[in-house]
Amino acid sequence: MDRESIIARAKEHFSKLIEEQFERIEMMKKQENFIDYDKLDTLVIGIVGGDGIGPYITAQAQRILEFLLQDKAKQKNIEFKIIDGLTIENRVKHNKAIPDDVLEQLKQCHVILKGPTTTPRAGDPWPNIESANVAMRKELDLFANVRPVKIPQEGINWTFFRENTEGAYALGSKGIHVNEDLAIDFTVTTYEGSYRIIKAAFDYARKTGVNKVTVVTKANVVKTTDGKFLDIAREVAMEYPEVEWDDWYIDIMTAKLLDPKRRNQFKVVVLPNLYGDILTDEAAELQGGVGTAGSANIGKRYAMFEAIHGSAPRMVEEGRAQYADPSSIIRAAGMLLEHVGYTVEAKKLDMALDICGTYEKKLIITGRDTGATSAQFADYIMETLTDGNLEKRWLSYTNSQTGN
């Protein structure tokens, strides 16, 4: 193929992508307000096991949710909807990131608790289908990925607001091999997409009284898309005069999270998709590993809560799945509770997790038969939740760590 034909084909490809983004922008402009969970006759909680260790750990998080909500269920209809079709085998069978029937089931839920799912990569025995996570964020318009990280003994209490539907991941499977010498991927930044995630971060800072937001980009080099994100942050900040804000570039920000003199000064952090993916994994590792952190994916109509680690297929292959650490998905369950308004239950679960996983550690998860099973750890958490002195016990451990 001659050069003119190659360029014409690339232009046609790019033209279609722009049309898709225009349609998405119009959809965002038409969005209504966030759902009011108090007005629902029945709250439908979807339980999606996913792949690998996912079904094992998600089952334990479901047990804890049911335990915490047993009294609430007497006052309000709460339905748990089990959705099994998001396995890699079923997705490959339908050659879709999310099979149509599974997507329909997901849309029947108000909130979703989701275990990890496998995303094929080069060399895997699976076709190159899109990430189920990315697809779910697009299909349900889950634009805000919220990830909290706490290290009390170091005075660290970070909340990351990662844009979830744009950036480098928006068209991650729609790049183009122009020819044998040239491959191009695309990154997307829209006014509507950037405005709503940045506003969500500032709203959170105001609501919680933290009143400090850090915006992370690489606007000095990626001037068009990252520059737009930063310009919109300046615009949003004017709506929140009481909220202090600053901006950092992603490269130095990754370094400053490791700087003991600086890192406890960060509070709420908002950033584009790819940078958020990288930085939140680094932050979770400082907390104790990605297995210790949960993640919320928030939209106006739907919300999905998940573990931030992978599906660990090797653990299943080696017969160790029952020893997988459920802490991350249980943290996510706590975030789900808080999101739908059960803040007391969410706080209790958060404290119980701190006691069982960070402070007391009567049971240790090793990922092998040298440690506890995920079911035993869930039992330990539920036993701790029944302690009438839970908060006093938690404060005792916390104060001993912080020196108060």
Q: What is the pLDDT along the chain (404 residues), one digit of tens a residue?
A: 788 998 998 899 889 989 989 998 998 888 878 899 989 999 999 999 999 999 999 999 999 999 999 988 777 899 999 999 999 999 999 999 999 999 999 999 999 999 999 888 777 788 888 889 889 988 999 999 999 998 877 889 999 999 998 988 878 778 888 998 999 888 999 999 999 999 999 999 999 999 999 999 999 999 999 999 999 999 999 999 999 999 999 999 999 999 999 999 999 999 999 999 999 989 988 987 776 778 899 998 999 999 878 899 999 999 999 999 999 999 999 999 999 999 999 999 999 998 998 888 899 999 999 999 999 999 999 999 999 899 999 988 887 765 55
HSE toward the beta carbon, residue 47, CA cutoff 13 A: 20
Distances (CA, A) of 204 to 6, 208, 346: 48, 6, 17
Question: Can you tell me the distance from the alpha carbon of 342 to that of 348, in angstroms, rounded to the nearest whole number?
Answer: 10
Residue that the structure tokens 């080069």 belong to: 122
pLDDT at 185: 87
The identity of residue 339, as a single letter, is H
**What strand order describes the sheet that includes 303-307?**
77-83, 42-48, 111-114, 303-307, 294-298, 144-151, 156-163, 268-271, 212-217, 244-249
- What is the number of H-type helices and E-type strands within the chain? 14, 12
Show Cβ contacts of residue 234 under 8 Å, excluding neighbours closer than 6 positions.
none
Q: Which two tokens stand for residue 402?
A: 């912080």
Q: Which domains does the chain have, with CATH numbers?
A: 31-142+299-350 (3.40.718.10), 149-290 (3.40.718.10)
Q: What is the pairing mode between strands 144-151 and 182-184?
A: unpaired
- The b-or-e profile of 349-381 (16+ CB within 10 A means b, else e) is bbbbbbbbbbbeeeeebebeeeebbbbebbbbb
Tokens of 342: 């059960």
Evaluated on CA atoms 327, 329, 332, 334, the torsion sign reads negative
Question: What's the pLDDT at 402?
Answer: 59
Q: Tokens standing for 155?
A: 């005075």
Cβ atoms of residues 121 and 171 within 8 Å: no
Look up tokens 């995630």; give the residue. Answer: 197
CA distance 290 to 270: 19
State residue 403's pLDDT score.
Answer: 59
End-to-end CA gap in the chain = 72
> 111-123 in b/e burial notation, b at 16+ Cβ within 10 A?
bbbbbbbbbbeee
Alpha-carbon dihedral angle through residues 36, 243, 267, 161, given to the nearest 10 degrees: 40
Q: Please, which residues bridge with residue 364 across strands?
A: none
CA 28 from chain centre, in angstroms, equals: 20
Identify which of 103, 99, 82, 81 has the alpha carbon closest to the alpha carbon of residue 90: 99
